[in-house]
Structure formats: structure tokens, C-alpha cells
Amino acid sequence: MTGRHFVEQRMDEQLLERVGCYCSECYREFRIGESAYYDLHEYRYVCGGCAENLTQSREGESSEIPEEMNEASLF
């Protein structure tokens, strides 16, 4: 799921302080140690369930993301 639409990151205290503690799609609260997914299309963090739903809705879209973004980390 983290291929071309999302970058997966584990939430820790520092990341929660920097980016907020809620999913930008469903507003569920992130917990420390949980995976969050950075949405490369809309520049936001979402939970795993929302990332799956967004991936399915984007399957028909063709988008180009630079190769270096596939393995990038934000922090």
C-alpha cells in the first residue's frame, strides 16, 4: 500500500508533535507506535484504513511520482 501513493511511518512523540495526532480523513487519533501514512497526493497523514480506501479510489488514476519519493522518509 505504501508504494506510489503513501509513505509509511511509525508515530512517535516527536512526529505527533510535528504533524498532529489525528487522521486527516476520519479524524481518528493516532497512537504512539502505530503506523501512519503520508499521502503524497494531498500532503497529509492518514490512518491505515483511510489509506486503503484512498488507494482503492485512486487505482484508476494514473499519476507520476518521482522515483526517489518511493523510498523517501519525511523526517
Per-residue pLDDT of the chain (75 residues; tens, 9 = 90+): 556 889 999 999 999 999 889 999 999 999 999 999 999 999 999 999 999 999 988 876 655 555 655 566 666
pLDDT at 43: 95
pLDDT at 74: 67
Name the burial class of residue 24, with classes exposed (0-12), middle (13-18) and buried (19+) by CB atoms within 10 angstroms of its CB.
Answer: middle
pLDDT at 64: 54
Assess contact for 9 and 35: CB atoms under 8 A. Answer: yes
- Domain of residue 16: give its range: 6-65
C-alpha 21/C-alpha 5 separation (Å) is 21
Q: Give the pTM.
A: 0.73
DSSP of 34-45: -EEEEETTTTEE
Asked if residue 34 belongs to a domain, the reply is yes
Asked if residue 21 belongs to a domain, the reply is yes
Residue with cell 497512537: 31
SS3 60: coil
Asked if residue 70 belongs to a domain, the reply is no
Asked if residue 32 belongs to a domain, the reply is yes
Asked if residue 26 belongs to a domain, the reply is yes
Assess contact for 39 and 51: CB atoms under 8 A. Answer: yes
Total domain count for the chain?
1
